[in-house]
Amino acid sequence: MSAPTRMSLLAVHTDENLLGTTHLYPLPDKIGKAWPALRQMYRGITGSQGNLPYAGLLTVLRAIGYTCATLYPQSKEHPPKYLATSRPIDRDDLHDAIVLWEQALLQTDRDKFSFAYQSEIADLIAGTTPEETSLWEHFTSTGNCIDAPGWVWRAASWAVASRLAAKHWEIDGRTVRFRLDLDGNLLVWDPDLLWTNTWAAAYSDKDTETPDEENPEWKNRIHYSTLRLEVAAKSYPGLHTPVAAVEPIVSRLGNTLRSARTGWFAPRAADGPLLKLAFGGYGEHTHVDHTTRLALDAWTRLHGEAVFPRAANETDFLAPSTCDLSGAPGNLRVLIPFSGAYSIGKGFGMYGHRELARYASTALGQQLLETEQVAGRAFGSRRTTDQGRDSVLLDDPRLGEILLTAGRERLRILVLYRHQEQRTRMQRLLAYHYNRPDLAARMPEAQSVPLNDHVEAFLQPAADLLRHGDHHMQRPGLAWQLHGLDAPEGTRLLALCETEYDAKAWGRQRRESRKTGSTTIDPYELDAKPHAVRELARLGVLTQFLTPHKPGRRNPRKKDREITNDLDRLGRELEGDHRGHMAVADLHRSAGLIHPRLTDALTFGPNGMKEPLVHVGLHLRQQLGKRRGKLTDPPRLIWTLVALVPGPDKLWQPLAYLPNADAPGGVWLDYATANTRHRARPLPEGRRKDAQLPRSIDKALWELGLFANAATGYNLYVSGDEARSIWPLLANRHLGRTPEPDGTLDKRPALPGFTLSADQRPRAVLRVTAGNDHIATPALIERLEKTDEEEAEYQERKLSTGIFRMSGSTHNFILCNLPQQYTGGSRHSRAGEKYTRWASASAEEQAETWYSHTATEISVLHLPDGHAPATYAVAAARLCDHALHWNYRTRYPAPIHLGIQMDKDHWEYRRTVEEESEAEN
């Protein structure tokens, strides 16, 4: 019987005709001598220790040949063995491109470039006869998936994008044409199809402050945005053919090259691919990066068409800051270098995703990737709040038992403040959440104030400790001077702290500090938060910071409840303080409180997991070291294991594994204690490829058995974003392969826990991946309906929040979600539901984010024989839906989410990045 609901993703199947052929240039053996000789010359001139920067050469070959071009295999030391192109390149053009690229990388003066330059590499490559071969033949089946060399995936993506670019898209009365760029992605380039807006129009009816910009005409400046499609050929678990995924992105174009990172240049040839440019530097020192510069040097010589204008006395590209992009977009366009307030919002909307899926399927002549709904996601006992308050948890008569299961008998909350208004705010929040409205107006200071039988507050000023500034050396002593640290045994110490943080203002100040000769100090260097977190953790205190109150939007669909008592009245007054409510909730998360409703959530319904199992989440992240001049700090490796252990009477014990700081091994502790010790020390050094890492994790899983209580085993949920390269069976290309009896595959641990004996291994291992890097976006929702003639047919639906099994697969599932903002009641929360941005004439609507479905992929990689994969997938979905301390859902199952939050709580967590992110969807 057909599933009642099916969902199509924004991805299509492929076949041999769609992918076409590729041309392989087998490089002669002599390249093995010529390549190292040129590399040695390049290193001597530049001081580089890497391989030859052939990315610039490939850029030129793609531009002159209108083709995909790849050298492989990619290596930092060894020369490539093949050149692969989607179409053959004229021999003379190929030779000239290599000659110019070689002179450019050897830093030859521009006026001395010559096509007569003698290049052995050019002679060898250009003298090779290409061999045409079917791209389809290079995909190989690997059990439950497929694999191919990296160049094959790139060539397949280019073939799909080229087919899409050749087909116009009729939508909302517009004819949309896409242009291919050198990365194989598509852009809407036609100026008439760009979306426009101004600050004045976007904010005319709002109380929001406009950005504080020096340009007095800022409010009337027109901003532009365009649609960009990222096209990628991918493998999907259980499918034996490649899939082409299309991801729509709203890319916002900048008015200046200052601090830009990515740009495009349209050559004179209308049908040629757009040149993609990369930039480095900041402000007036923004410059074309080295690889792009090499490519442009060669490309300009071949075409006689400069990307940047030159003055009469210029021998190089002009500083990008002199290029005027303030008018309508022309041949040169860049993305704005950082996200923030902008007059055109993000996102393409649900209607746009649906219609784009239909367009892609028609243009490529292929079926969309379909999924079928699996019963079992819906369940009761989901966390809800009453005007921001978790009354189910805090009013539960078993709160004392919940606290004891979490590791302590009582909580003491230190309320640390600088300003009186913030003291009053935090006091009122605690009085409300702990049902003590009598304490909202008056709460004694510097003494223990009972909030209920198990929780007490301790208010006191801590102005110098919390004040931003360069007095970090004084903060340890200031922390020691706090009152309330001498709590009775069995008491967990928490701190709710005031802080000041304005992301936009700090971002502007940070950029100003980078300017040459600037006397402005980077605000993150003065930030009190990381130092306070560390010093208080060393004293056994877990901190939660609360930023100034920012009134949230009120849901107009929500009716005001009748006020019957003082608690209702206080709740009405605090209704818009979402930051405050979430700070209190996160304080409870840090303390490790888990309500017994988790048991009901997991066991509910016929697909519920009735057997008592420990649920373990593995989160892993590698953080690159900060650059300090020419020096770089060692990379940091953070991995967390968090276990939810079922106990008697539906109570759950949260545990976290704390690795030793300087030696192998570690210890399981209750979640809050492990979190405290984690914050009290620096992040450990390490890399994902460290050979000891899988063994350390397996040892931790073995030791978990000591805390199993009544559980009969454990499920392991692995965050798939960063761990795929560590364990072979986490990667698609190895799915379906059988590990050796010792749990290894290709002499590596096959999965986490697999080097243990069979009875100590995980009951099930699930890879959970969130985000669009690996998952196609949900697009079409259709439900099976009966017509008047009793015939069944699928009818289109707009929304879905189900769990779906991939067609053709038994172990791979897609969890379809709706963004929280989309389900809200604000005026434009559902912008894009019935039309695209091209059909919107509202400046205010264009300034909003247009939401669409999001997806989480759940792959059941290991489970006992005879068990249904859907049971374990449903458990993972419910652990996403059952947010322990959030109003709605989390991106990952609760154990992984707790590990991610534990990582983010650390004072060395990279809150800022070296390169500003580009403002796009």
What percent of the chain has pLDDT above 70? 91
Using DSSP, state whether 156 is helix, strand or coil. Answer: helix
More confident residue, 365 or 824: 365
* Residue 63, H or E segment: helix 55-65
| Joined tokens for residue 678 | 């984690």
b/e 656-666 (16+ beta carbons within 10 angstroms → b) = bbbbeeeeeeb
In single-letter form, the type of residue at position 281 comes to G
Beta strand pairing status for 714-719 and 614-623? Answer: parallel
Using DSSP, state whether 198 is helix, strand or coil. Answer: strand
Locate tokens 């259980």: which residue? 238
User: Among 41-55, 299-313, 746-760, 892-906, which is the least confidently predicted range?
Assistant: 299-313
List CB contacts of 220: < 8 A, sequence separation 6 or more.
198, 199, 200
| Phi, psi dihedral angles at 82 (to 5 degrees) | -140, 150
Q: Is 50 exposed, middle or buried (0-12, 13-18, 19+ CB in 10 A)?
A: exposed
Residue 772 is predicted with a pLDDT of 62
Helix runs in 514-564, H state only: 523-526, 529-538
Using DSSP, state whether 44 is helix, strand or coil. Answer: helix
User: Among 333-342, 678-687, 838-847, which is the least confidently predicted range?
Assistant: 333-342
Hey, CA dihedral for 78, 81, 85, 89, is it positive or negative?
Answer: positive
Residue 341 is predicted with a pLDDT of 67
Residue 314 is predicted with a pLDDT of 41
Mean pLDDT across the stretch 45-73?
88
CA gap 371, 781 in Å, rounded = 10
Q: In DSSP terms, which residues pair with 542 in a beta bridge?
A: 494
CA gap 432, 671 in Å, rounded = 26
Decide if 321 contacts 334 (C-beta within 8 A). Answer: no
CA gap 548, 557 in Å, rounded = 27
Dump pLDDT digits (tens) for 97-129: 999 889 888 888 877 888 889 999 999 999 999
Mean pLDDT across the stretch 781-801?
77
Q: Can you give the three-state secondary structure of 457-523, one letter per residue?
A: EEEEECHHHHCCCCCHHHHHHHHHCCCCCCCCCCEEEEEEEECCCCHHHHHHHHHHHCCCCCCCCCH
Confidence label for 224 from pLDDT (cuts 50, 70 and 90): very high
List CB contacts of 276: < 8 A, sequence separation 6 or more.
59, 181, 182, 183, 262, 263, 264
CA gap 773, 790 in Å, rounded = 42
Locate tokens 């402050």: which residue? 209
Q: How many CA atoms lie within 13 A of 52 on its CB side?
A: 25
pTM of the model: 0.92
In single-letter form, the type of residue at position 919 comes to A
Hey, CA dihedral for 800, 801, 802, 806, is it positive or negative?
Answer: positive
CA gap 851, 352 in Å, rounded = 10
Q: Where are the beta strands (DSSP E) in 358-486?
A: 368-374, 410-417, 449-450, 455-461
Angle of CA points 699, 702, 708, to nearest 5°: 145
**Is 80 exceeded by the pLDDT of residue 405?**
yes
**Is 80 exceeded by the pLDDT of residue 355?**
yes
Q: How far is CA 363 from the centre of its chain?
A: 30
Helix runs in 831-888, H state only: 843-846, 869-881
Confidence label for 463 from pLDDT (cuts 50, 70 and 90): very high
Confidence label for 250 from pLDDT (cuts 50, 70 and 90): very high
Residue 913 is predicted with a pLDDT of 41
Decide if 273 contacts 182 (C-beta within 8 A). Answer: yes
Mean pLDDT across the stretch 312-334?
68
Using DSSP, state whether 737 is helix, strand or coil. Answer: coil
The 10 Å Cβ neighbour count of residue 64 is 21
Dump pLDDT digits (tens) for 601-633: 899 888 889 899 999 999 999 888 776 554 467
**Is 90 exceeded by the pLDDT of residue 561?**
no
Q: Where are the beta strands (DSSP E) in 104-242?
A: 131-134, 140-141, 146-147, 169-171, 174-176, 178-180, 186-188, 195-198, 222-234
Mean pLDDT across the stretch 564-583?
91
The overall average pLDDT reported for the chain is 88
Q: What's the order of all strands across the beta sheet hosting 332-334?
A: 287-288, 275-280, 262-265, 332-334
| Joined tokens for residue 384 | 């809800």
